Amino acid sequence: MTAELLNGREIAKAYRAGLAEEVEKLKAQGITPNLTVVIVGNDGASLSYVRSKNKAAEKIGMSSGIIHLDADVAETELLDTIERLNNDDTVNGILVQVPLPEQISEEKVLEAIAPHKDVDGFHPTNIGRLYTGQRTFVPCTPLGIMELLKHTGPLEGKDVAVIGRSHIVGQPVAKLLTDAHATVTLMHSRTQGMIDKLKHFDVVISAVGAPGLVTGMHLKEGAIVVDVGNSVVDEKLVGDVDFESAKAVASYITPVPGGVGPMTITMVLNNTLLAAKWHNGLE
């Protein structure tokens, strides 16, 4: 078996084309969805990531702004900035790029974003709504993974191993998979005999940041493999999965780069569109 590629770039491209059409319809009604990203300091990788979100929003017809604050900005000034964006009716989605400098409490900042503009879906109120089944912004990487998995057939009844228990990826994707009627085992660093257990699973989602963690010999024949790993080795972006050996066993597999990554930004745009619709009483 050679796995079919879950090509995140292509799937994201098609998905964004759909978003662009919806943006156009909103603009015809006088509504231009806006995504505003706040960044503190001058970390190169963060800056480039922020700019790519910005460009992606503009490419589908949204308006987009970047607010760039000095690395030594006071927490109160950042909170004031967020408060201003919360109250600005032309802003639909607010992202604050993390990590933040030491003098600023990330928790306080993420809680300061109005839940109805929190397109990252990190506000406790939004996470709570996710778990109670209410309308909310679903965190972008888990949402993007679910969108990729739509291309592999129904999840109902499948046994899924999620490796990594972060509240950004592992836990919410486990929740979404459970809602889709899959049976999820949430694995992590303390799981006994983890690698040998993977053989029993129809789907393996790895979100650890440990290059080479999962290889073909660990997988069930025909497994679906989603690689959320995101490490830099020899100046190259690599995932958790040994792609070549896994590809020979899996039925579907995501590459790194070009798998989950493009889907994450796409879901930021998706959530910003939702924010604009909800703000205007549409849907």
Catalytic residue at 80?
no
Closer residue to its own copies (CB): 19 or 146: 146
Characterize the bridge pairing of strands 63-69 and 34-40. Answer: parallel
Q: Cα angle vertex 166, ends 156, 183, to 5°?
A: 15
127 touching its own copies, by CB under 8 A: yes
What is the spatial distance between Cα 114 and Cα 94, in angstroms, rounded to a whole number? Answer: 9
196 touching its own copies, by CB under 8 A: no
Catalytic residue at 120?
yes
52 is in an annotated binding site: no
Interface pick for its own copies out of 9, 51, 129, 199 (rule CB under 8 A):
129
Closer residue to its own copies (CB): 11 or 184: 184
Interface pick for its own copies out of 190, 196, 233, 283 (rule CB under 8 A):
190
223 touching its own copies, by CB under 8 A: no
Q: Are 221 and 1 in contact (CB under 8 A)?
A: yes
What is the spatial distance between Cα 168 and Cα 276, in angstroms, rounded to a whole number? Answer: 23
Tokens for 123, please give them.
């506000």
User: For residue 133, which amino acid is it?
Assistant: G
Q: Cα–Cα distances in Å, from 42 out to 52, 67, 70, 80, 254?
A: 15, 12, 8, 20, 31
CB of 38 to its own copies, least distance (A): 20
Annotated binding site for NADP(+): 164-166
Catalytic site positions: 53, 97, 120
Binding site for its own copies (CB under 8 A): 107, 122-129, 131-134, 156-159, 165, 167, 171, 174-175, 178, 181-188, 190-192, 194
